[in-house]
Structure 1
Amino acid sequence: MKKLFAMTCALMLMLSLAACGNTASNTATPSSTAAQTADSDLAYVKDKGEMVIGYTVYEPMNYTDDSGKLVGFDTEFAEAVCEKLGVTPKFVEIDWDNKFLELDSKSIDCIWNGMTITDEVTKNTNVTKPYVKNAQVVVMKADKVAEYTTPESMKDLKFAAEAGSAGESAIEENGLDANYTAVAAQTDAMLEVMSGSVDACVIDNTMATAMTGEGTSYASLAAGIELTSEEYGIGFRKGSDLTEEVNKIMDELKQDGTLQKLADTYQLTLAE
């Protein structure tokens, strides 16, 4: 009787151990798969079926037309890339000064809004190759532009620029920040000039070309000297495999003429 009881206990123990082994074996693969997915931004975006794109209103890159539709070079560029990725683009307006926090927290999947490639950008994002050339230019009342031909001649002027922007950096680097006001957007900087609160602002040349002069909302303003030359890139999370994938698609869109057509439409110059 004791032998039978012992054999029964031994059998039950073996079955229990086998069941535990099968459970561990069955759960190992999904956990491994989940870890791989977590490490891949490309898989993350494809799994949810959309790419969340952080932007600010910035003509001609991302802005709404008269019908209320979001258009612009970056808008249409992003749509073309998302089509090739097989996902839907979701555009979310962000506070430009908090763009890296938005990216790291996964509130957005990329920063795609005429973002100048700077040391700060390369430190905080995995940035793509350049796609458009740009410059930071001084914008002021059109009848004053001819009076100021060097940064030194502007030392006593009041300036405005978007907080955290390349324009802000250009003001600081050229020693023009003695009377400087940071604002929320580049359009706000131009409004400050229009109102007379400041003498000048520093914004992207792409915006200055599109939004100042005759026939625009800022007809009394004009672009003056360039303070810097630069290029735009798209920022993904550090280590993101989306960067390489988007670089490949960018090359395809250059080769088939899509990007050049967009550049011609929005009067931009593609990076080499």
Structure 2
Amino acid sequence: MKKLTVFLLTLAIALSLTACGGTSGSTNQTDMEYVKEKGTLVVGITNFAPMDYKGTSGEWIGFDADMAGAFAKSLGVEVKFVEIDWDNKVLELDGKTIDCVWNGMTLTPEVTNSMECSNAYCNNAQVVIVPSNMFDKYQTVDDLTDLAFAAEAGSAGEAALNELELNVTPVKTQSDALMEVAAGTSDAAVIDSLMAAAMVGKGTSYSDLTYTVALKNEEYGVGFRKGSDLADALNDFIAASYADGSMLKCAESYGVQATLIEQ
């Protein structure tokens, strides 16, 4: 697997998105109380290596999956993973079919306005995927105007392409976007750089594809229902995980070189 340097953000410089201690549903029960009462933290995810993907035994593993499991354990509950349609993540939260979205989620204004988000914990970028033999032709944003793109519906990649007014067809997942390019039904795709490092290039599932232009830099966070007190609890957990080194160890175990940013 290729290694991609991911700069994990120190809590001191992370965007502070403070929870308001809100309630869950129409009662005065907080989200923390709700999760502890039912005994599970239900995490909404998609198949997104190296953040959330299935291991050889069919269990969900990955940087985000492992950290979600550790957070659930710190709350004294079990973790349960549910695959969701990424475009419906807010509906899933508000309908209480999941308790959080923890899947390399970019902290866009749309996300932070509709969810109670944790502090940012990871930097990422959106990158253009093309066949390897087309690498030299597509090196700048200006080179991309003639391409037909595939991108996950509701993703930061789709948003970046729309901002540039490029031709994009939304698909269900980032993996589907890669398959479109591999099959020749789309000229290119835009996906997260973390997924690109894990799945594209020599020694990966898509050895004939490569990544070129980075369209935008971004930050990852975890989303809860608006007003949820679980966001503050996760911020405390992130701070403790930085301090004891467990978060960096988890990142390294998935082929991610994690470096704290000092300011």
Smaller-chain TM-score bracket: 0.7 to 0.9
Name the structure 1 match of 2:110: 120
- The SS at the match of 1:107 is coil
Q: CA RMSD in A?
A: 1.7
1:58 alignment counterpart: 48
Matches for 1:73-92 after TM superposition, within 5 Å: 73-92=63-82
Larger fraction in helix:
1
Q: Is structure 2 residue 225 aligned with structure 1 residue 251? A: no
- Percentage of pairs with the same residue: 49
Rounded to whole Å, the distance in 2 between the matches of 1:236 and 1:69 is 23
| Residue of 147, 153, 169 corresponding to 1:181 | 169
Give the deviation of 1:37 after TM superposition. Answer: 6.2
Task: Indicate if the aligned counterparts of 1:132 and 1:268 stay in contact, CA closer than 8 A.
Answer: no
Shift of 1:69: 2.2
- Structure 2 residue identity aligned to 1:261: K
Aligned to 1:234: 222
Larger radius of gyration: 1
Q: 2:143 aligns with which of 139, 148, 153?
A: 153
Compared with structure 1, are the counterparts of its residues 268 and 93 closer, same or farther at alpha carbon in structure 2 (3 Å cutoff)?
A: farther
> Which runs of 5 or more residues in structure 2 are unaligned?
1-23
Relative to total residues, which structure has the larger strand share, 1 or 2? 2
Between the two proteins, the alignment pairs up a number of residues equal to: 237
Relative to structure 1, the CA distance from residue 51 to residue 38 in structure 2 (aligned partners, 3 Å threshold; closer, same or farther) is farther
Q: Is the 8 A contact 1:236 1:242 kept in 2?
A: yes
Gaps of 5+ in 1: 1-33
Q: Deviations over 1:65-110 (max 9, x none)?
A: 2232211001000011111111100111111010000000111000
TM-score of the aligned structures, taking structure 1 as reference length: 0.84
User: Larger RCO: Structure 1 or Structure 2 (Cα < 8 Å, ≥ 6 residues apart)?
Assistant: 2
Q: For residues 236-257 of structure 1, give each alpha carbon's deviation from its aligned partner in whole angstroms, at most 9, with x where no partner exists.
A: 0111111001110111111111
What's the CA shift string for 1:94-148, capped at 9, x where partnerless? 1101000000011100001000000000011000001111000001101111211
Deviations 1:208-235 (A, max 9, x none): 0000111111110111110000110000
CA-CA distance at 1:149 after TM superposition: 1.4
If the length of structure 2 is used for normalisation, what is the TM-score? Answer: 0.87
The aligned residue for residue 29 of structure 1 is none
Work out the CA distance in 1 between the residues paired with 2:108 and 2:179: 26
Equivalent residue, structure 2, for 1:22: none
4+ residue stretches of structure 1 with deviation over 6 A? Answer: 34-37
